[in-house]
Structure formats: structure tokens, C-alpha cells
């Protein structure tokens, strides 16, 4: 997206505003399909559930991974074939299982004995199951993102996984097993740890159809083909098809958060107060995530980059988009672009301190369209009941 287009979007729709490049999303899907030929790609809806993005991905012919009733309904509304939807996550309820079975969800990842107990009482003739293993290794990422760690809440031990799988196998409902190592994975050795953990299960339960390897590929440049080589060798050895559940990898780089400078002040440190902060993009405050931030439009050629804290407008010291960011001497009214904001940006945004969530805009072939309007004050109490 050009700076001219970003300036046009900000002028038309205001700030803060999220802008998503649908062509970049298509390119990321193509990258995955090239690296993993024949794999079944299911977009992890939690990364970004915007309806325009979901409709675009459904149109590309890939599947979806939903975790909640809301995500399931969003994927159905966007046009995903229920047979291409995976229902995952640790929080399955009887109501969610009944709804998923009724619409014909094709694959369910069972995270626990409790989830198996719920599903064992549901009539779901069109649904197959994978059982999620907690392999208990270090996936070399941030502790909040390390879903394969022994302390993680996800999946079951090898012994419990075997027990659940045996019952499904006997009933002819076991499609395979599931390991999601973590997020922001950039160490190719993790792929070897994943397949080593799965090996005994696929030796014991022969003739399975799938291996669900999750997603979690780092952005912007993971060793995608190294992961693919290891995973493809395992799949070929056991005659199974690879299932992937990427979210961030598909949408992160496609998204930009636009924000305007409200104030600039020098108080020992150089602080730029912007109109977007942790209520719009929580990741920097939540676990120190880094997002590139730049001035939109041409800065003077002689402009020197100065270490700058880009802070939000809320009364929280953690309300920050970036620390020690290299920016020229920006001033009130300047437009900033926060990059890699397409994943877990708007999805984690909130109305903290009655902050109004911004607009969402999609861009395709250089044309911008409003995908979600900016909130108004009345939206804050729309669901409240009068006394």
C-alpha cells in the first residue's frame, strides 16, 4: 500500500484505522500452498475475524479453524463450507458441540478428556476427530506463545492422548493427531521436535488420514521450506495428509494501523502521544511485541531518526505502541503507520476507558473500502438495559 493511499484512507475514515491489503493476504496463502503442496490450509480465525477478510479467504478455497460459537458463526456467515471447518480449542461445551455437529463441521480437535466426554454424547456422523497432544518441549518462543510447553494448558499427555485415541479408533472416527508447538516459530529444529513427539502415535495407530501440525510460523520471514521438508517427510512416511492452521502468518503483514500524533513532548525522553494505543493494539503492552512504526509521507531528506516512545492516549504507563522507535522530528497531526498489525490487532482491541474502537478498511487492487465503521458513543451502551 502506498503512502498516498494510506493518507487517503486516514483523511476519509479518520484515525485510528486498521487497513488490510487483501492482495497481500492472497500472496501469503499462495506462499503456504507452494511450500506445502497438497496440504489442507485452515485459517485460524482468532488472528483476525473481520468479515471482509473471512469472505476473501473463503473465496480462495481454503478452510477455517474456529474456537468458539462466535467464530463458528462468523465462518459460516462468510461462506466457508462446514466440511472445511476445524473446531479446536480447549473450551468445548455441549451447546457448541451440538451446533457444530448440526451444521456438519468436518473436523474437531479434542483438547482433553472432558472434550471427548462432551462429544461422545453428540450425534455427529459427518465429523472426524484429531486428538491434541501436549508434547512437553520448549518451542523456543515467548512463554505466552509456547503452547507445546509442559506447563501449557493445551492438549493431553501421551498416555491420555493414547486412551482417547483408542476409543475413537475403535469407533472409526479417529482421523489423526494434533500438535501446535507455539506461535512466532522461527527455529526450524522445532519441526523435528514436533514429528518426534508424534512418531509413536502414528506407529501405534496405523492407517490414519491426517496430521494436524497447527501453524505458528513467525513473521515476517520464517524458515517455511525447512518446516515443510521435515513435515512432508513425516507425512509421506505415514501416508497422511498435512493440515495447517496458520493465522498470523496469513494476515499480520497485510495489516497497518494508522494513527495520528496528538502531542509531542520532551521530558527526559521524547514522547509522541498518538490517538491509538493499547486499546487498539494490545500486543506491545501484553508481551512486549515489536511492531515497526514509521512516518507516512516524505520526511525531509536531512531528517535524523531520533529515539522516540510512541505512546497511546490512555492513563496507563503500559499504553505504548513502541519504545525507542527511530522517527524523524514528527509534529502534531502527522500520520504514523504501525506495521504487521493485521493479526491480533483489532481482534484484541477493547473499549477500556470507554475507548471507541476504530474503523477497518480493506484494500484490493488499490481500491479502499470500509469494512467496519468506527464506533460511536452509543455503541458503548447499546447492549446495556435501562434501569
Q: What SS3 class is residue 349?
A: coil
**Nearest C-alpha neighbor of 90 from the set 56, 116, 127:** 116
The H or E element that residue 309 is part of is strand 306-311
Residue 34 main-chain phi, psi, to 5 deg: -75, -40
Q: Which residues, in sequence order, are bridge partners of residue 350? A: none
CB 241 within 8 A of CB 38: yes
In Å, how far are 174, 195, 264, 375 from 211, measured between CA atoms?
Answer: 11, 10, 52, 42
The C-alpha angle 158, 89, 139, rounded to 5 degrees, equals 55
Separation of alpha carbons 387 and 50, rounded Å? 33
C-alpha dist (Å) from residue 276 to 46, 244, 283, 347: 21, 33, 13, 15
Active site residue 315: yes
| Helix, strand or coil, per DSSP, at residue 19 | strand
Catalytic pick among 206, 315, 365, 378: 315
- Would you state the torsion angle of the CA atoms of residues 330, 334, 335, 336, taken in this order, to the nearest 10 degrees? 20
Collapse the DSSP code of 65 into the 3-class scheme (helix H, G, I; strand E, B; otherwise coil) and give the result.
Answer: strand
Contacts of 325 (CB under 8 A, 6+ apart): 293, 307, 308, 309, 310
Distance (Å, whole) CA 282 – CA 166:
42
Q: Is 282:60 a contact under the CB 8 Å cutoff?
A: no
**Helical ranges in the chain per DSSP H:** 3-13, 22-35, 51-59, 69-78, 94-103, 113-119, 158-170, 189-204, 224-238, 248-251, 283-287, 377-380
Q: Render 266-283 in DSSP notation, one character per residue.
A: ESSSEEEEES--TTT--H
Which residues are designated catalytic?
A: 315
Amino acid at each position: 500500500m502506498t503512502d498516498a493511499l494510506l493518507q487517503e484512507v486516514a483523511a476519509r475514515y479518520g484515525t485510528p484505522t486498521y487497513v488490510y491489503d487483501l492482495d497481500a493476504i492472497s500472496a501469503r496463502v499462495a506462499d503456504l500452498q507452494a511450500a506445502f503442496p497438497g496440504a489442507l490450509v485452515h485459517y485460524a480465525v482468532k488472528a483476525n475475524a473481520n468479515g471482509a477478510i473471512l469472505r476473501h479467504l473463503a473465496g480462495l478455497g481454503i478452510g477455517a479453524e474456529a474456537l468458539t460459537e462466535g467464530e463458528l458463526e462468523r465462518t459460516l456467515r462468510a461462506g466457508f463450507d462446514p466440511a472445511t471447518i476445524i473446531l479446536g480449542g480447549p473450551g468445548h461445551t455441549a451447546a457448541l458441540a451440538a451446533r457444530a455437529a448440526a451444521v456438519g463441521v468436518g473436523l474437531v480437535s479434542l483438547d482433553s478428556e472432558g472434550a471427548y466426554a462432551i462429544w461422545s454424547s453428540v450425534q455427529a456422523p459427518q465429523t472426524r476427530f484429531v486428538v491434541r497432544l501436549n508434547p512437553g518441549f520448549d518451542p523456543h518462543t515467548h512463554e505466552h506463545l509456547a503452547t507445546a510447553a509442559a506447563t501449557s494448558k493445551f492438549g493431553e499427555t501421551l498416555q491420555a492422548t493414547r486412551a482417547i485415541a483408542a476409543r475413537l479408533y475403535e469407533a472409526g472416527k479417529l482421523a489423526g493427531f494434533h500438535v501446535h508447538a507455539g506461535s512466532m516459530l522461527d527455529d526450524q529444529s522445532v519441526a523435528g521436535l514436533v514429528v518426534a513427539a508424534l512418531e509413536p502415535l502414528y506407529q501405534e495407530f496405523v492407517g490414519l488420514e491426517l496430521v494436524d501440525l497447527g501453524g505458528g510460523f513467525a513473521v515476517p520471514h520464517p524458515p517455511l521450506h525447512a518446516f515443510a521438508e521435515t513435515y512432508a517427510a513425516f507425512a509421506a512416511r505415514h501416508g497422511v495428509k498435512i493440515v495447517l492452521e496458520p493465522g498470523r502468518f496469513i494476515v499480520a503483514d497485510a495489516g497497518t494501523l494508522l494513527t495520528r500524533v496528538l502531542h509531542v513532548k520532551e521530558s527526559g525522553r521524547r514522547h509522541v502521544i498518538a490517538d491509538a494505543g493499547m486499546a487498539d493494539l494490545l500486543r506491545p503492552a501484553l508481551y512486549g511485541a515489536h511492531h515497526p512504526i514509521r512516518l507516512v509521507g516524505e520526511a525531509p531528506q536531512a531528517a535524523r531518526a531520533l529515539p522516540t516512545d510512541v505512546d497511546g492516549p490512555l492513563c496507563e504507563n503500559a499504553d505504548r505502541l513502541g519504545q525507542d522507535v527511530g522517527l524523524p522530528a514528527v509534529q502534531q497531526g502527522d500520520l504514523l503507520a504501525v506495521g504487521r498489525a493485521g493479526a491480533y490487532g483489532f481482534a484484541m482491541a477493547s473499549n477500556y476507558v470507554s475507548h471507541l474502537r476504530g474503523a477497518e478498511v480493506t484494500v484490493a487492487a488499490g481500491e479502499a473500502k470500509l469494512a467496519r465503521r468506527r464506533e460511536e458513543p452509543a455503541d458503548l451502551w447499546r447492549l446495556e438495559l435501562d434501569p
